[in-house]
Amino acid sequence: ITPASMTIVFLGITIGTIMTMSSSNWLMAWIGLELNMLAILPIISKPKTTRASEATTKYFLTQAIASAMMLLSSTINVWQTGSWSILELKNKFSTTIMALSLMMKMGAAPIHFWLPEVLQGTTLQTALLITTWQKIAPVTLMYMISNNIQPTILVSAGILSMIIGGLGGISQTQLRKMMAYSSINNLGWTITIMAFSPNMALMNIFTYIIMTTPIFLMMTNMSTKTLQNLSTTWTTSMTMTLSIALLMLSTSGLPPFTGFMPKMLILNELISQKLTTLATLAI
């Protein structure tokens, strides 16, 4: 891929996300997400391997299905309300379909199956892009419609994401798959609290992005792709190995690291909402 075409691709990704975040109309938000999806496909398929081609196909199909669900949801809502406005999503069926499509877009359970496979088939830099930048637009849309989504749906998907993210990462030896399950787990926290405190959900996802970015950048720098590689990196760079270890502990929400702060606030909010059982499950 030439530098000029890479510039166009990255411009498409950036403009698509910004367009979705700043739109108040479902049609413009959908166009932004489509532009974003089409722009990232050449990046995923850049390594000329069968794994990369498979990852590109899986990513395209799941995102296309999610986009179709978004269009279906917004169209049904227009029939009911006569408005394309994002804030006018009043129909319960439309809201449920929209919530599921956004969960599919960002890779939250129960529609998470594509995320570990896609990350495993791409480079570390692309995996960083998918787990961070690509989540901003769907999370923003979910934030905008959070008042209309039934809390039961968000809480159920959130708890499921936490469980799948936590258990799925245990048996992995590939770092990219581990990071994918870490992403699913973190999305679980974000979606659960979205029903009660959307601002806290945004703080949680952005804290996660800030912590994940240096992990991927250091793994790229040291060319580590498996746990076995990571266990031998201390011989070449002790500082970087220690930094990755501390950042991973922070991402998992261990006190006194930064990652513990949003989780503590989320648990506090759930308890104050009289959702003690839910808070216990989250722990």
Distance separating alpha carbons of residues 249 and 259, to the nearest angstrom:
8
Query: pLDDT class for 280, splitting at 50, 70, 90?
Result: low
Q: What is the pLDDT of residue 42?
A: 94
Digit-coded pLDDT (tens) for 54-64: 999 999 999 99
pTM of structure: 0.93
In total, how many domains does the chain have?
1
Distance separating alpha carbons of residues 158 and 154, to the nearest angstrom:
6
Residues with Cβ within 8 Å of 243's Cβ and at least 6 positions away in sequence, in order, are 214, 218
Distance separating alpha carbons of residues 70 and 37, to the nearest angstrom:
14
Are 57 and 44 contacting, i.e. CB atoms less than 8 angstroms apart?
no
Question: What is the rounded average pLDDT of the residues 143-150?
Answer: 93
For residue 226, the cross-strand partners are: 174
Query: Whose CA is closest to 120, among 51, 168, 218?
Result: 51
Encoded tokens for 81: 């309300």
Distance separating alpha carbons of residues 130 and 127, to the nearest angstrom:
5
Digit-coded pLDDT (tens) for 73-120: 999 999 998 889 999 888 899 999 999 999 999 999 889 999 999 999
Q: What is the pLDDT of residue 279?
A: 64
Distance separating alpha carbons of residues 224 and 210, to the nearest angstrom:
20
Domain span at 69: 3-282
